[in-house]
Amino acid sequence: MKNNYLYIVLYFLMFIAHFFLFKYLENCCEIIFIKYYLFLTILFMMVITVISICKKLYPDYLGFIFMGIVMVKLALMFLIMNKLNLSEVPNYKLHFIIPYLISLLLVTLYSVNIIQKDEKNH
């Protein structure tokens, strides 16, 4: 449980750092930025929650569940990208791929940590 909070705090620190850097450099499109981070935060929390639940229900299949969730997350990002009007932001590929990849890295580290703990217990 303590690990969950660490990853969530790291995620929000990334959000705060990126928001202030974005505001300092670009100073535009705050609404799009906040919508994107709200969507990314919902996905991040959903993935952490689903992995935590699946750890208790299907501990042997956690790696496959992680890969499936990452594929669903990527598909949702492509579906929502047009609705968020990300192309209106200058250098939008740079500004929006980095938070997504950092979010993916945090979820991956969380999943690896859970899988390693489960292997030590068996």
In the chain, where are the structural domains located? Answer: 2-121
pLDDT digits (tens, 9 = 90+) for 41-90: 888 889 989 998 998 898 888 889 999 999 998 888 888 877 877 777 77
Residue 2, pLDDT > 90, answer no
CA distance 110 to 59: 14
pLDDT at 3 over 80: no
- Lowest-pLDDT range of 7-16, 75-84, 85-94, 99-108: 85-94
Max distance between CA atoms of the chain, in angstroms, equals 52
